[in-house]
Amino acid sequence: MNKHIAKHKKFAAALLAALLALSAVFLFPIAVSARTNIALGAVIDAFCCEIDGARAFMLVDSDVNFETKWQTEIVDTSHPGEFHWVILDFKTEKTFDEIRLIKASQGIADFGRTELNAGGFIFEVSADKISWHQIISETGNGDEVYEGSFPPVTARYLRLVITNPVQNGDENGIENQAVRLYDLKVFEYTPAGEDDEGLMVNKTPQSADTSDALLSFVVFFAAAAALFVAVWYYGRKKTS
Ligand SMILES: [Ca+2]
């Protein structure tokens, strides 16, 4: 066999393997992000507090570019000493196991201002809005996008309590600062092995996640095309 052809065959096989590996890396987040965000269909049942133009419901509107946020007063004189909180009502019992919270520094108006990111917060679930069961409790959390997973829970109501609205605030909430949160996603539990079926039947709008997935696709194909052209050009130069 021609030495050049054999060499190219080997190279093509290696390239194919590399592309497959890249596909796995880029396609995996797409499969994950296609999970149903039940916060999108939920309503804000009650809250404390909000300001004009940054209402509590804007926390769960799933706006693609993180332009809308839930913001509270800096000093809340109407509720002295009280933490800020929101209650989501899924309207029926839902089973979920993951939460994603987009904090201030990821939003359009507060972009990069990490000092405004909530450092302390609690998530609780309830069937009746009377007795609450804590599923997440964070203090001193420095994430710009917080992702929390937990064993699947089934509940109709989810309460988010902000114990420290900023990075350097008082964990007891005494030093009352403004809450600034752009988005909250709650992912419905998908039993293992049913992912593919879930993808097929999931018709819930997933605006932000779908655009992320699309971007991943575009980046992947651009990178693959660039790599292919570079290899082709290199091979051509070598054989000529
Ligand atoms: Ca929003």
The average pLDDT across 13-28 equals 68
- Please give the structure tokens belonging to residue 109: 């108006």
The average pLDDT across 6-29 equals 68
The average pLDDT across 79-83 equals 76
Residue 228: the pLDDT is 77
C-alpha 102 to ligand 1 mean position (Å): 9
C-alpha 67 to ligand 1 mean position (Å): 6
Cα separation, 190 vs 207, whole angstroms: 20
Residue 180 in contact with residue 165, Cβ under 8 Å?
yes
**pLDDT (tens digit, 9 = 90+) per residue, 159-206?**
999 999 999 876 655 556 899 999 999 999 998 755 443 333 333 334
CATH number for the segment(s) 43-189: 2.60.120.260
C-alpha 31 to ligand 1 mean position (Å): 23
pLDDT above 70 covers a percentage of the chain that reads 71
Residue 74: the pLDDT is 77
Cα separation, 182 vs 111, whole angstroms: 11
**Beta-carbon count within 10 A of 188 CB:** 19
C-alpha 226 to ligand 1 mean position (Å): 36
As beta bridge partners, residue 121 has 138, 162
Residue 206: the pLDDT is 42
Residue 208: the pLDDT is 46
pLDDT, greater one: 95 or 234: 95
List Cβ neighbours of 95 (8 Å cut-off, separation of 6 or more). Answer: 152, 153, 154, 188, 189
pLDDT above 90 covers a percentage of the chain that reads 54
C-alpha 80 to ligand 1 mean position (Å): 26
C-alpha 148 to ligand 1 mean position (Å): 19
Residue 205: the pLDDT is 39
- Please give the structure tokens belonging to residue 58: 């804007």
Of how many residues is the chain composed?
240
| Domain extent listing, the chain | 12-33+214-239, 43-189
Cα separation, 157 vs 149, whole angstroms: 17
Confidence check: pLDDT of 213 > 80: no
C-alpha 181 to ligand 1 mean position (Å): 8
pLDDT averaged over every residue in the chain? 82
List Cβ neighbours of 27 (8 Å cut-off, separation of 6 or more). Answer: 216
Cα separation, 15 vs 8, whole angstroms: 10
Closest CA relative to residue 60, chosen from 176, 205, 189: 205
Confidence check: pLDDT of 21 > 80: no
